[in-house]
A and B are shown apart, each in its own frame.
Chain A
Amino acid sequence: MRGERTMTEPLLSIAEKVVKLAIKEKIDQAQATTFLCDKALTRYANSQIHQNVASKTGGVAIKVVIDKRIGTLRVNTLEEKQTQEAVKQATKIAEVSPPNKDFKSLPEPEKWSPIEGAFDKETATCSPEYRAERVRELISLAHSKSKIVKAVAGSFSTDLITFAVANSLGVSAWANVSLASMKATVISETGGSEGFGSAEQYSRRVKDIDPVEIAEQATEKSVKSVRPQKIPVGNYEVVLSPRAVGTFLSYLGEIGFSATPYQDGESFVKYHLNERVFDEKLSVKDDAHDPQTLYALPIDDEGIPKKAMRLIDKGVVSEQSICYNSLTAGKENKRSTGHAVPPVIPYYPYDVPVPINILASPGDASVDEMIAETKRGIFVTSFHYTNPVDPTKTVLTGLTRDGTFLIEKGEISKPVMNLRYTDSMLSALKEIQLIGKRLERVGETTVPAMKLKNLRFTGVTEY
């Protein structure tokens, strides 16, 4: 752990210094989140590296409260003089802001402890040469598998993320994680028809990433998916790979289990409290301390220890499913669950609490067994461009991608052209026939494959 403290101590020291500076400005409360991200990514397409980047970013997010008037300021510098200036500016913003009557208080300190295995030095210091070699290995293997492989595209990233939080009530906490991910899309072509296949892996340790396995999975799907057939739209049984399941659960996290849509009346949970809205076999939690999750952050953006949440308990959703930061918790006189998203996590707005450590309970089936149990259905590798159509009714739409196959009489019979689904998750996840025994990390979710009795496909594309 010494290595970790060496990196986090200066950040924590700056955060605490910023809070002390703010207190001198005659404010009520103050919070500072300092962060440092050292990210590198090697991207390839047409079987060669075409983008290779490294960026060092960091800064401080300051929150100042004066009589319920809140000023927030984020600057991407950690230099003392500029952070001093930022404190003054945040104070000025607070002074001229109207009071936020929903604000109760910044959080009190709570006991927390770092997560073992969150940080891996090899990942944090991974070289561009190492990434280039693994990319070369993956591309070579994909081409060697079949002559119809036309091109390989993907990315290999290695990131170090560190942040520290201090506030005027005594919060003093930090997080330090490493992340690695590798993705590959293999494009095959024969007789003018293209096939696509993809695979990806995520880990806290770069050495866990296996380019051989990724190449094999993506290439097999790609080669098998050339000359896809058009099938009619309608309701089908589906076997969803973990990546496809991850898309569904990730969206439910955002539109259903966040306190913001819940308090706005836009979350389905509000209308189905204590009801079994999903299949009894479906249990989903959010738990940063589970070793299987990717983002091993012990605390949130406010320095609150992340609580384990039962998002779906044997198909039932309840008040216990809702994830809060301190502001949304204050509105209901509750305690935050530790779900304020720190500025180091991409995609999410920092003021909306969301679960980013979603884990679904495994079942006892293999994907082969799911296929064998399907009379006529569709195997989905992944979904593309999914978006909510009616968030409150959990209606999502999106398209299949990178390997979509028809299953007939318990076997994959042929590749099919990509299909658009438009369906409510309350309906699609109501009857889950089988759940996979193996969990895979897919970004912020850790999920198994699933066989659903029904998914509604409303359109078909041309490849």
Chain B
Amino acid sequence: MSLELGKKILEEAVKKGASYADVRIGEILDEHHTVKKGVPEKISLLQTRGFGVRVIVNGAWGFASSIELTGKEAKETAHKAVSIALASSKLKKKDVVLTPIRTRKDKYSTPIKKDPFKIPLNEKIEILTDAERTIAKQSPLIKSSSAFFRAIRENKLFMSTEGAEISQQITWCGGGIVGIAIRNGEVQRRSYPSSFEGNFATSGYEFFESLALIDHSKQTGQEAVHLLDAEKCPSTETDVILTGEQLELQIHESCGHPTELDRALGTEADYAGTSFLTHDKLGKLRYGSEHVNLVADATVLGGLGTFGYDDEGVPSKQVFLIKEGMFVGYQTSRETAAELGLKESSGGMRADSPLTLPLIRMTNINLLPGDWKAEEIIEDTKSGILMSVNKSWSIDDKRLNFQFGTEIAWKIEKGSKGNMIKNPTYTGITPTFWKACDAVSKDDWKMWGTPNCGKGVPPQIIYVGHGCGTARFKKVRVGLMG
């Protein structure tokens, strides 16, 4: 990463009138492999390089980026950002103000044991092929099976006119498997360890190894087949127990997104939407029961949203969003924090590449462990449904009305796990649902990585994490398929 190029970009921006400028110069390596139905369907390496410069001129923002890392392009792009900011300033109501920050010169690197980019390709493909073939062998009803590996390495340098010089290397990897059973036009799927191609963590290749895909492929295939004969999800109101593989997305959609301050302030109103958690409710609204403690935490070891500094140079931290059920905090940027009169940013600004503008993005949004063991929650449930692994998801643009479907569920009767249920779905209104949470586990708490969180215009896809175990919710409406 070139400090010289970064300095030149900042100098050019200041020369043209920027009162503040920052630049990110970066390179991303994205290795992505899929073995499907016995063939290596995708063996792919994607390399992204470039820089993006963000400026404030006349109190308004401008941003420009380029893939050409040359002095000439650096100058032209810095000038372009300034001219864009000038155009923005014609339609501003007030000047952009940023919360103060202690500028740092620092380095951060994801701790890894085995570099996933140094592991021979054939070793990875062999694991994927063995796992995928094992699923396929379980039954002729398995019509499709796939196994996935993905690793990303992001090297980035952040510099600002305030004096920041931060270089980071983020590495993450992981993978998963899926089996699809089909009979007479009915399709059932099972994924391990989770949907969206598996589970991912900021870690080395050791995390992929720890998933032990081959060991889990037999059960994955068999469950897909068994689902074809399972009972339909009843249409009723009952207690629902969600395992971490589903609870993570519930947290993501119904807590992660509505606590993003840019949404609450209306700047995502045209696309992703706004938030029911408006700032007048901060510190006053009961979001959930006293068992519900949710944090944004970019410091958790292995979390997919773990890093040293965000893309504004704010050090990683833990921030409470929901404390004992009360709505107490937002995920912010330096600008939105200042707008709300907060002393500092939560450190949640990230861009999906050096070529795109940082936005407020989730880091790791975690439901803190409760007092229960997962098994105790089941034993304590007289009648209900245990749901696991996300299959479908949808939530309104203020993040109130949600509906999720999971791959698999089981009846809970008199404290025991009973018959398997297929096509389970549940729905609710966010605060009503979280207020009905009466048990949160501690023994099966772990980090789940979601590599595909979309937000923004133009759209960006970023990787975020969610820590959680199992939780129970009382009187939930289930069975929406009719």
- On A, residues with C-beta under 8 Å from B are 39-59, 70-77, 86, 89, 93-94, 96-102, 127-129, 131-132, 135-136, 139, 151, 153-155, 157, 183-185, 187, 198, 264-266, 270-271, 346-347, 351, 384-392, 395, 397-399, 401, 418, 420, 422, 456, 458-463
Contact of A459 (CB < 8 Å), options: B61, B83, B403, B458: B403
> What's the nearest-Cβ distance from chain B to residue A419, in Å?
9
Given the known A-B contacts A53-B84, A420-B427, are A44 and B91 also in contact in the complex, defined by CB atoms under 8 Å? yes
A460–B84 CA distance with the chains assembled, in angstroms: 42
For A398, give the chain B residue with the smallest CB separation. Answer: B394
Given contacts A57-B67, A76-B50, A389-B481, contact A264 B401 (CB under 8 A): no
- How many angstroms from the CA of A44 to the CA of B397 in the assembled complex? 18
> What is the CA–CA distance of A70 and B34 in the complex, to the nearest angstrom?
12
Do residues B91 and A132 form an inter-chain contact, with CB atoms below 8 A?
A: yes
Which of A52, A131, A136, A387 has the most C-beta atoms of chain B within 10 angstroms of its own C-beta? A52
Question: What 4 A-B pairs come out closest when comparing CB atoms?
Answer: A128-B87, A461-B401, A153-B269, A45-B267
CA distance A129 to B77 in the complex (A): 17
Question: In the complex, which of the residues A73, A93, A418 contacts B121, with contact meaning CB atoms closer than 8 Å?
Answer: A93
Q: How far is the CB of B153 from chain A (nearest CB, A)?
A: 15
With A55-B66, A264-B143: A420-B84 Cβ-Cβ less than 8 Å? no
Give the complex CA separation of A187 and B405 in angstroms: 32
Contact sample, A vs B, 23 pairs, CB 8 Å cutoff = A42-B87, A43-B270, A45-B267, A49-B60, A49-B87, A52-B88, A54-B63, A55-B64, A72-B43, A73-B44, A89-B45, A97-B121, A98-B39, A128-B87, A183-B271, A185-B269, A198-B270, A265-B144, A389-B481, A399-B397, A458-B403, A461-B398, A462-B398
Q: Indicate if B80 sits at the interface (CB-CB under 8 A).
A: yes
Q: Are B356 and A131 in contact (CB under 8 A)?
A: no
User: Is B118 interfacial (CB 8 A cutoff)?
Assistant: no
Residues of A within 8 A of B122 (CB): 96, 98
Instruction: State whether A41 and B392 are in contact (beta carbons under 8 Å apart), knowing that A74-B45, A98-B129, A461-B429 are contacts in the complex.
Output: no
Is B120 in contact with chain A by the CB < 8 A criterion?
yes
Per the bound structure, the CA–CA distance linking A388 and B425 in Å amounts to 12
Instruction: Find A51's partner among B45, B63, B269 (CB 8 Å cutoff).
Output: B63
Selected from B43, B45, B268, B273, the residue in CB contact (under 8 A) with A384 is B273
Known A57-B67, A151-B266; 12 more pairs at CB < 8 Å: A51-B357, A52-B62, A55-B64, A56-B66, A93-B45, A155-B271, A187-B269, A265-B180, A351-B41, A390-B187, A401-B273, A462-B276
- CA distance in complex: A114, B230 (Å): 53
Please, which residue of chain B has its CB at the minimum distance from the CB of A78? B67
Q: Is the CB of A264 within 8 A of B121?
A: no
Once the chains bind, are A155 and B90 in contact (CB under 8 Å)? no
Please judge, given known A-B contacts A386-B394, A392-B187, whether A128 and B401 are in contact too, CB under 8 Å.
no
* Contact yes or no, B65 A72, CB < 8 A: no
Q: Given contacts A96-B120, A266-B187, A388-B392, is CB(A462)–CB(B91) below 8 Å?
A: no
What residues of B have a CB within 8 angstroms of the CB of A48 in the complex?
91-93
| A271-B185 in contact (CB<8A) | yes
Chain A residue contacts of B413, Cβ below 8 A = none
**Chain A residues within 8 Å of B401, by CB:** 399, 418, 420, 459-462
Residues of chain B within 8 A of A346, CB atoms compared: 458-459
Q: State which of A132, A266, A395 has its C-beta within 8 Å of the C-beta of B90.
A: A132
Report B265 CB to chain A, min CB distance, Å. Answer: 7
A97 near B125: Cβ-Cβ < 8 Å:
yes
Q: Which residues of A contact B435 (CB under 8 A)?
A: none
Smallest Cβ distance from A319 to chain B, in angstroms?
17
Question: CB distance B392 to A389 under 8 Å?
Answer: yes
Task: Determine whether B423 belongs to the interface, using a CB cutoff of 8 Å to chain A.
Answer: yes
> A-B pairs with CB below 8 Å: how many?
255
Q: How far is the CA of A57 from the CA of B120 in the complex (A)?
A: 30
Q: Are A390 and B481 in contact (CB under 8 A)?
A: yes
**Interface positions of B (Cβ within 8 A of A):** 38-50, 52, 60-68, 77, 80-81, 83-88, 90-93, 120-122, 125, 129, 143-144, 180, 182, 185-187, 265-271, 273, 276, 355-357, 391-398, 400-401, 403, 405, 423, 425, 427, 429, 457-459, 480-482
Q: Closest CB-CB distance, A162 to chain B, in whole Å?
A: 14
Q: Given A266-B180, A462-B429, does the pair A155, B47 have CB atoms closer than 8 Å?
A: no
| Residues of B close to A53: CB separation below 8 A | 62-65, 84, 356-357, 458
In the assembled complex, how far is the CB of residue B220 from the closest CB belonging to chain A, in whole angstroms?
16
Identify B187's interface contact among A49, A51, A154, A265, CB under 8 A.
A265
Contacts of A44 in B (CB 8 A): 91
- What separation, in Å, do the CA atoms of A42 and B270 have in the docked complex? 12
Contact A55 B125 (CB under 8 A): no
B93 & A52 in contact (Cβ 8 Å cutoff): no
A139-B91 CB under 8 A given contacts A183-B270, A389-B425, A401-B397: yes
* B182 CB contacts on chain A under 8 angstroms: 265-266
CA distance A386 to B83 in the complex (A): 38
The chain A residue with its CB closest to the CB of B67 is A76
B44 lies within 8 A of A77 (CB): no
A422-B429 in contact (CB<8A): no
Q: Which of B143, B187, B480 contacts A458 (CB 8 A)?
A: B480
Q: Report the separation of the CA atoms of residues A94 and B401 in the bound assembly, to the nearest whole angstrom.
A: 47
Give the residues in chain B near A397, CB-CB below 8 Å: 392, 394, 403, 480
How far apart sit A57 and B90, CA to CA, in the bound complex (Å)?
A: 27
Tell me the complex Cα distance, A420–B65, Å.
39
What's the Cα separation between A399 and B467 when bound, in Å? Answer: 28
A52-B88, A77-B67, A128-B84 given; A155·B396 CB < 8 A: no
Q: Which B residues touch A132, using CB under 8 A?
A: 87-88, 90-91
Task: State how many angstroms separate the Cβ of B374 from the closest Cβ of chain A.
Answer: 27
Which A residue's beta carbon lies closest to that of B38? A101
Contact A45/B268 with A76-B47, A399-B401 known, Cβ cut-off 8 Å: yes
Within the complex, the shortest CB–CB distance from A338 to chain B, in Å, comes to 20
Cβ–Cβ < 8 Å partners of A56 in chain B = 65-68, 77
* Chain B residues within an 8 Å CB radius of A460: 401
CB pair A384 B180 closer than 8 Å? no
CA distance A75 to B45 in the complex (A): 8
Complex Cα distance A77/B477, Å? 52
Cα–Cα distance between A58 and B49 once the two chains are bound (Å)? 10
| A387 proximity list for chain B (CB < 8 A) | 392-394
In the bound complex, residues from chain A placing their C-beta under 8 Å from that of B61 are: 50-52
CB nearest to B405 among chain A residues: A389
List of A residues within 8 angstroms of B459 by Cβ: 346-347
Cross-chain contact B270 with A385 (CB below 8 angstroms): no
A residues in contact with B143, CB < 8 Å? 264-265
